[in-house]
């Protein structure tokens, strides 16, 4: 049994790889044991939805099956890219790719057109004005670097509609009659009412996104007030991306077990629901401390 099967997954999320840089063992336990959704997480999701609705018009489509879900995601992605060209910014663009033969998926919070190209920006909510230390921001940096690379591959045609349709078995999927009626009510053209057709449209739009900025952004927001706490702009490099993949894939390839945080970062255990239960790596030291 490979790692994806053991974790009951079919794809690697960009957030999974980012979480490896916080605590790889916590990421794994989140799948094998199940992670509780906290109030802070719910607040963060709510704020993301509010920000999306400020830029992108909500689409009244209710998927009834996995096929419907894929169609809606690709369709709304296409509309989001249209908004980018029209408004110079857009939000919540799901991106797809492949790494080491694994399906890779992620959702970019925001794309903004700047003088030097389209910039990838990621929003993070914080509950307090705590320090922005390197261990705290490291997973966010990894996440935004992954998104930048995935978008580049889509723009350059290195991951295409053909790759997507083959990987997701699109030709075996059919939209439900009820969902098709919803598309009819929206006036969606009949010749674009298949996953393959809407996939072709979205991936073609990706190739026309234009020049990408080599600067990526992390935007930290106070989860209670919605005000900006800090903006960090980072330089994207292929070298950093390659280093990220080299480290993370050793886990996904089954070359090593999930690692816990290093001793000097065991303070993270204070915020982990698995500490002292499913994970006791630093339990004796924390009890003595």
Looking at the domain assignment, is residue 175 inside a domain? yes
121/65 Cα distance (integer angstroms): 31
**pTM of the complete model:** 0.90
Distance of CA 260 to the CA centre of its chain: 23
Q: What pLDDT score was predicted for residue 45?
A: 61
Number of independent structural domains in the chain: 1
The closest of 33, 32, 30 to 41, measured between CA atoms, is 30
Checking if the pLDDT of 144 tops 70, the result is yes
Looking at the domain assignment, is residue 18 inside a domain? no
Residue 238, number of CB atoms within 10 A of its CB: 10
Helices (H), the chain: 3-6, 14-29, 39-55, 66-87, 134-155, 161-167, 177-186, 195-207, 238-252, 283-288
Q: Which two tokens stand for residue 87?
A: 């408004």
Looking at the domain assignment, is residue 106 inside a domain? yes
β partners of residue 231 = 219
pLDDT band at 79 (very low <50, low <70, confident <90, very high): very high
Question: Tell me: the pLDDT tens digits for 5-64?
Answer: 999 999 999 999 999 999 999 999 999 998 766 556 555 566 556 655 565 567 789 999
Residue 179, number of CB atoms within 10 A of its CB: 21
Looking at the domain assignment, is residue 77 inside a domain? yes
Sign for the pseudo-dihedral over CA of 51, 52, 54, 55: positive
Q: Which two tokens stand for residue 240?
A: 């950093």
Q: Is 92 left (phi over 0), alpha (psi -120 to 50) or beta?
A: left
Q: Which two tokens stand for residue 272?
A: 């982990």
- Secondary structure class of 111 (helix, strand, coil): strand
Question: Please, what is the angle between helix 195-207 and helix 66-87, to 10°?
Answer: 30
141/265 Cα distance (integer angstroms): 18
Among 110-119, 127-136, 208-217, name the one with the lowest average pLDDT.
127-136
Instruction: State in Å, rounded, how far the first CA of the chain is from the last one.
Output: 39
Q: What pLDDT score was predicted for residue 126?
A: 83
> Cα 177–181–187 angle (5° rounding)?
145
272/274 Cα distance (integer angstroms): 5
7/245 Cα distance (integer angstroms): 19
Task: Identify the H or E element spanning 61.
Answer: none
211/265 Cα distance (integer angstroms): 39
Range of 97's domain? 39-248
Checking if the pLDDT of 251 tops 80, the result is yes
Looking at the domain assignment, is residue 265 inside a domain? no
Strands 117-126 and 102-114: antiparallel
């Amino acid at each position: 049994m490979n790692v994806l099967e053991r974790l009951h997954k079919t794809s690697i999320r960009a957030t999974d790889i980012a979480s490896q840089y916080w605590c790889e063992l916590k990421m794994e336990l989140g799948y094998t044991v199940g992670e509780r959704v906290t109030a802070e997480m719910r607040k963060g999701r709510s704020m993301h939805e509010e920000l999306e609705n400020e830029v992108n018009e909500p689409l009244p489509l209710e998927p009834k099956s996995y096929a419907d879900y894929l169609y809606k995601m690709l369709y709304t992605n296409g509309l989001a890219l249209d908004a980018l060209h029209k408004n110079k910014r857009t939000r919540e663009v799901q991106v797809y790719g492949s790494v080491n033969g694994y399906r890779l998926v992620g959702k970019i919070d925001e794309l903004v057109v700047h003088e030097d190209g389209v910039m990838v920006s990621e929003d993070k909510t914080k509950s307090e004005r705590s320090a922005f230390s390197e261990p705290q921001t490291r997973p966010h940096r990894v996440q935004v670097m992954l998104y930048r690379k995935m978008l580049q591959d889509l723009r350059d045609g290195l991951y295409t509609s053909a790759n997507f349709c083959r990987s997701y078995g699109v030709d075996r999927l059919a939209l439900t009659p009820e969902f098709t009626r919803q598309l009819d009510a929206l006036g969606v053209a009949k010749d674009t009412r298949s996953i393959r057709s809407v996939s072709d449209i979205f991936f073609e739009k990706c190739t026309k996104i234009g020049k990408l900025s080599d600067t990526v952004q992390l935007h930290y927001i106070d989860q209670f007030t919605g005000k900006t706490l800090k903006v960090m702009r980072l330089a994207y490099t292929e070298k950093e991306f390659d280093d990220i993949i080299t480290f993370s894939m050793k886990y996904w390839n089954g070359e090593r077990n999930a690692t816990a945080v290093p001793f000097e970062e065991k303070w993270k255990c204070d915020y982990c629901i698995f500490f002292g239960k499913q994970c006791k790596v630093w339990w004796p030291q924390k009890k003595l401390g």
